[in-house]
Amino acid sequence: MSDKKIALITGANKGLGQEIARQLARQGHLVIMSSRRESGSDSADKLATEGLNVVHLLLDVNNRDDILSAKDWIEEEFNRLDILVNNAGVLMDRDATLSELPESDLRMTLETNTISPLLLTQHLAPLMMKNRYGRIVNISSTMGSLNDMAASPPSSALTAPAYRLSKAALNAVTILQAKELCGYNILVNAVCPGWVRTDMGGLNAPLSVEQGAKTPVWLATLPEGGPTGKFFRNMKEIPW
Protein backbone atom coordinates (compact mmCIF):
# COMPACT_ATOMS: atom_id res chain seq x y z
CA MET A 1 0.00 0.00 0.00
CA SER A 2 1.21 3.50 -0.78
CA ASP A 3 2.74 5.48 2.08
CA LYS A 4 0.39 8.30 1.10
CA LYS A 5 -2.81 7.77 3.03
CA ILE A 6 -6.27 9.32 2.77
CA ALA A 7 -7.33 10.82 6.10
CA LEU A 8 -10.62 12.35 7.26
CA ILE A 9 -10.62 14.69 10.26
CA THR A 10 -13.97 15.86 11.62
CA GLY A 11 -14.26 19.33 13.11
CA ALA A 12 -11.05 20.31 11.32
CA ASN A 13 -11.93 23.96 10.75
CA LYS A 14 -10.08 25.18 13.85
CA GLY A 15 -8.14 24.28 16.96
CA LEU A 16 -7.03 20.71 17.54
CA GLY A 17 -8.70 19.32 14.43
CA GLN A 18 -6.97 21.83 12.19
CA GLU A 19 -3.59 21.06 13.76
CA ILE A 20 -4.07 17.30 13.42
CA ALA A 21 -4.86 17.90 9.75
CA ARG A 22 -1.74 20.04 9.38
CA GLN A 23 0.56 17.48 10.97
CA LEU A 24 -0.84 14.57 8.98
CA ALA A 25 -0.58 16.56 5.74
CA ARG A 26 3.02 17.45 6.58
CA GLN A 27 3.71 13.72 6.69
CA GLY A 28 2.59 13.53 3.07
CA HIS A 29 -0.97 12.30 3.48
CA LEU A 30 -3.99 13.71 1.68
CA VAL A 31 -6.23 15.13 4.39
CA ILE A 32 -9.97 15.72 4.10
CA MET A 33 -10.82 18.52 6.52
CA SER A 34 -14.50 18.41 7.38
CA SER A 35 -16.64 21.04 9.06
CA ARG A 36 -20.35 21.60 9.49
CA ARG A 37 -20.24 25.04 7.91
CA GLU A 38 -18.99 26.10 4.48
CA SER A 39 -16.83 28.74 6.14
CA GLY A 40 -14.64 25.86 7.29
CA SER A 41 -13.19 25.81 3.79
CA ASP A 42 -11.11 28.84 4.86
CA SER A 43 -9.08 26.55 7.12
CA ALA A 44 -8.38 24.18 4.26
CA ASP A 45 -7.39 27.11 2.06
CA LYS A 46 -5.00 28.27 4.77
CA LEU A 47 -3.26 24.91 4.92
CA ALA A 48 -3.18 24.70 1.15
CA THR A 49 -1.21 27.96 1.05
CA GLU A 50 1.36 26.17 3.23
CA GLY A 51 1.81 23.72 0.38
CA LEU A 52 -0.17 20.96 2.09
CA ASN A 53 -2.40 18.46 0.30
CA VAL A 54 -5.81 19.12 1.87
CA VAL A 55 -9.42 19.39 0.72
CA HIS A 56 -12.54 20.60 2.49
CA LEU A 57 -15.67 18.53 3.01
CA LEU A 58 -18.95 19.92 4.31
CA LEU A 59 -20.07 17.47 6.98
CA ASP A 60 -22.39 17.96 9.92
CA VAL A 61 -21.67 14.84 11.96
CA ASN A 62 -25.16 15.03 13.48
CA ASN A 63 -26.80 14.87 10.05
CA ARG A 64 -27.28 11.32 8.74
CA ASP A 65 -27.64 12.52 5.14
CA ASP A 66 -24.31 14.35 5.44
CA ILE A 67 -22.64 11.17 6.70
CA LEU A 68 -24.03 9.14 3.81
CA SER A 69 -23.04 11.81 1.29
CA ALA A 70 -19.52 11.97 2.76
CA LYS A 71 -19.16 8.20 2.43
CA ASP A 72 -20.33 8.27 -1.19
CA TRP A 73 -18.03 11.18 -2.06
CA ILE A 74 -14.95 9.61 -0.48
CA GLU A 75 -15.65 6.31 -2.21
CA GLU A 76 -16.14 8.00 -5.57
CA GLU A 77 -13.10 10.28 -5.29
CA PHE A 78 -10.58 7.93 -3.65
CA ASN A 79 -12.19 4.48 -3.40
CA ARG A 80 -10.62 4.15 0.05
CA LEU A 81 -10.13 5.73 3.43
CA ASP A 82 -7.11 4.96 5.60
CA ILE A 83 -7.40 7.26 8.61
CA LEU A 84 -10.43 8.59 10.48
CA VAL A 85 -10.04 11.01 13.37
CA ASN A 86 -13.35 11.56 15.17
CA ASN A 87 -12.48 14.98 16.56
CA ALA A 88 -15.73 16.98 16.37
CA GLY A 89 -17.23 17.46 19.81
CA VAL A 90 -19.07 19.80 22.17
CA LEU A 91 -18.80 20.81 25.83
CA MET A 92 -22.06 22.45 26.87
CA ASP A 93 -22.33 21.83 30.60
CA ARG A 94 -19.08 22.88 32.29
CA ASP A 95 -20.54 23.71 35.70
CA ALA A 96 -23.84 21.83 35.60
CA THR A 97 -24.84 19.21 38.13
CA LEU A 98 -26.26 15.88 37.05
CA SER A 99 -29.51 16.54 38.92
CA GLU A 100 -30.05 19.85 37.14
CA LEU A 101 -28.61 18.97 33.72
CA PRO A 102 -30.94 20.21 30.94
CA GLU A 103 -32.21 17.32 28.84
CA SER A 104 -31.42 19.25 25.65
CA ASP A 105 -27.75 19.57 26.63
CA LEU A 106 -27.55 15.88 27.50
CA ARG A 107 -29.07 14.78 24.21
CA MET A 108 -26.95 17.13 22.07
CA THR A 109 -23.74 16.15 23.85
CA LEU A 110 -24.35 12.42 23.50
CA GLU A 111 -25.43 12.87 19.88
CA THR A 112 -22.30 14.78 18.93
CA ASN A 113 -19.64 13.16 21.10
CA THR A 114 -20.75 9.53 21.08
CA ILE A 115 -23.44 8.62 18.58
CA SER A 116 -22.02 10.55 15.63
CA PRO A 117 -18.51 9.01 15.84
CA LEU A 118 -20.13 5.58 16.11
CA LEU A 119 -22.32 6.13 13.05
CA LEU A 120 -19.54 7.74 11.03
CA THR A 121 -17.31 4.75 11.70
CA GLN A 122 -20.13 2.36 10.80
CA HIS A 123 -20.39 3.91 7.36
CA LEU A 124 -16.71 4.56 6.67
CA ALA A 125 -15.08 1.44 8.13
CA PRO A 126 -16.13 -0.67 5.11
CA LEU A 127 -13.82 1.48 2.96
CA MET A 128 -10.99 0.47 5.30
CA MET A 129 -12.08 -3.17 5.49
CA LYS A 130 -11.98 -3.43 1.71
CA ASN A 131 -8.27 -2.57 1.70
CA ARG A 132 -7.56 -4.29 5.02
CA TYR A 133 -6.00 -1.19 6.51
CA GLY A 134 -7.28 1.51 8.82
CA ARG A 135 -6.47 3.73 11.76
CA ILE A 136 -9.38 5.19 13.74
CA VAL A 137 -8.74 7.72 16.49
CA ASN A 138 -11.55 8.78 18.82
CA ILE A 139 -10.79 12.06 20.56
CA SER A 140 -11.84 11.41 24.13
CA SER A 141 -10.88 12.96 27.47
CA THR A 142 -9.57 11.96 30.87
CA MET A 143 -12.85 13.48 32.09
CA GLY A 144 -14.53 10.39 30.61
CA SER A 145 -12.30 7.99 32.55
CA LEU A 146 -14.29 6.06 35.15
CA ASN A 147 -11.08 5.71 37.12
CA ASP A 148 -10.65 9.49 37.14
CA MET A 149 -14.30 10.22 37.91
CA ALA A 150 -14.12 7.92 40.93
CA ALA A 151 -11.05 9.72 42.27
CA SER A 152 -11.38 12.27 45.07
CA PRO A 153 -10.98 14.79 43.68
CA PRO A 154 -11.03 14.04 39.92
CA SER A 155 -8.31 15.62 37.81
CA SER A 156 -10.65 18.33 36.45
CA ALA A 157 -12.65 20.75 38.57
CA LEU A 158 -15.40 20.85 35.92
CA THR A 159 -18.52 18.88 36.77
CA ALA A 160 -19.63 18.60 33.11
CA PRO A 161 -21.79 15.48 33.61
CA ALA A 162 -23.05 15.24 30.01
CA TYR A 163 -19.53 15.67 28.63
CA ARG A 164 -18.15 13.06 31.04
CA LEU A 165 -20.91 10.59 30.17
CA SER A 166 -20.41 11.12 26.44
CA LYS A 167 -16.66 10.51 26.62
CA ALA A 168 -17.05 7.46 28.87
CA ALA A 169 -19.49 6.05 26.31
CA LEU A 170 -17.09 6.92 23.48
CA ASN A 171 -14.40 4.96 25.29
CA ALA A 172 -16.74 1.97 25.38
CA VAL A 173 -17.45 2.42 21.66
CA THR A 174 -13.69 2.40 21.05
CA ILE A 175 -13.27 -0.97 22.77
CA LEU A 176 -16.16 -2.53 20.86
CA GLN A 177 -15.01 -1.13 17.51
CA ALA A 178 -11.46 -2.37 18.08
CA LYS A 179 -12.69 -5.91 18.74
CA GLU A 180 -14.94 -5.95 15.68
CA LEU A 181 -12.35 -4.54 13.28
CA CYS A 182 -9.13 -6.14 14.48
CA GLY A 183 -9.30 -8.87 11.83
CA TYR A 184 -9.05 -6.25 9.08
CA ASN A 185 -5.82 -4.57 10.23
CA ILE A 186 -7.84 -1.64 11.54
CA LEU A 187 -6.54 -0.19 14.78
CA VAL A 188 -9.00 1.79 16.91
CA ASN A 189 -7.89 3.83 19.91
CA ALA A 190 -9.13 6.63 22.14
CA VAL A 191 -6.95 9.56 23.13
CA CYS A 192 -7.03 12.40 25.60
CA PRO A 193 -5.08 15.24 23.95
CA GLY A 194 -4.73 16.99 27.31
CA TRP A 195 -5.86 20.47 28.29
CA VAL A 196 -5.23 22.38 25.08
CA ARG A 197 -5.54 26.07 24.22
CA THR A 198 -8.59 25.90 21.96
CA ASP A 199 -12.05 27.46 22.04
CA MET A 200 -13.09 24.56 24.28
CA GLY A 201 -9.96 24.48 26.43
CA GLY A 202 -9.62 28.23 26.89
CA LEU A 203 -6.62 30.53 26.94
CA ASN A 204 -5.35 29.28 30.31
CA ALA A 205 -4.76 25.74 29.10
CA PRO A 206 -1.10 24.67 29.41
CA LEU A 207 -0.77 22.89 26.07
CA SER A 208 -0.54 24.33 22.56
CA VAL A 209 -2.50 22.73 19.74
CA GLU A 210 0.82 21.46 18.37
CA GLN A 211 1.41 19.57 21.61
CA GLY A 212 -2.18 18.37 21.83
CA ALA A 213 -2.11 16.95 18.30
CA LYS A 214 1.03 14.88 18.87
CA THR A 215 -0.59 11.76 20.34
CA PRO A 216 -3.64 11.71 18.00
CA VAL A 217 -1.29 11.94 15.01
CA TRP A 218 0.88 9.15 16.45
CA LEU A 219 -2.19 6.93 16.80
CA ALA A 220 -3.37 7.82 13.30
CA THR A 221 -0.10 6.58 11.86
CA LEU A 222 0.59 3.50 13.99
CA PRO A 223 2.68 0.79 12.31
CA GLU A 224 1.49 -2.74 11.68
CA GLY A 225 0.85 -4.59 14.91
CA GLY A 226 0.31 -1.40 16.90
CA PRO A 227 -2.01 -1.19 19.90
CA THR A 228 -5.77 -1.25 19.48
CA GLY A 229 -8.69 -0.84 21.86
CA LYS A 230 -6.60 1.29 24.22
CA PHE A 231 -6.78 4.76 25.82
CA PHE A 232 -3.78 7.07 25.54
CA ARG A 233 -2.45 10.39 26.77
CA ASN A 234 1.03 11.73 26.05
CA MET A 235 1.69 8.57 24.00
CA LYS A 236 1.20 6.41 27.10
CA GLU A 237 -1.70 4.11 27.92
CA ILE A 238 -3.99 5.36 30.69
CA PRO A 239 -6.80 3.62 32.66
CA TRP A 240 -10.36 3.56 31.35
Q: How does pLDDT run across 180-211, given as a tens digit for each residue?
A: 999 999 999 999 998 777 777 777 877 888 99
Kindly tell me if the per-residue pLDDT of 1 is higher than 60.
no
Residue 175 burial (10 A CB sphere; 0-12, 13-18, 19+) = middle
Q: Can you give the CATH number for the domain in which 102 is found?
A: 3.40.50.720
Q: What is the residue range of 103's domain?
A: 6-237
Q: What is the pLDDT of residues 103-115, one digit of tens each?
A: 999 999 999 999 9
Q: How many domains does the chain have?
A: 1
Question: Is 184 assigned a catalytic role?
Answer: no
At residue 198, the pLDDT reads: 77
Q: What are phi and psi of 35, to 5 degrees?
A: -155, 160
Residue at 81 is within a domain: yes
Task: Please confirm, yes or no, whether 163 is among the known catalytic residues.
Answer: yes
pLDDT at site 180 = 98
Instruction: Look at residue 109 and tell me if it is in a domain.
Output: yes
Q: What is the mean pLDDT of residues 22-27?
A: 98
In a domain, 1, yes or no: no
Q: List the catalytic residue out of 5, 163, 214, 230.
A: 163
| Spatial distance between the Cα atoms of 233 and 156, rounded to a whole number of angstroms | 15
pLDDT of residue 2: 60
pLDDT tens digits for 60-71? 999 999 999 999
Short-list 124, 19, 14, CA closest to 66: 124
Quick check: 237 pLDDT over 80? yes
Residue 57 has pLDDT above 90, yes or no: yes
**Whole-number average pLDDT of the chain:** 95
* Cβ neighbours of residue 124 closer than 8 Å, sequence gap 6 or more: 8, 70, 71, 74, 81, 84
Does residue 98 fall inside a structural domain?
yes
Of 167, 179, 184, 230, which residue is the catalytic one? 167
φ, ψ for residue 76, nearest 5 deg: -70, -40
pLDDT at 159 over 70: yes
Amino acid at residue number 107: R
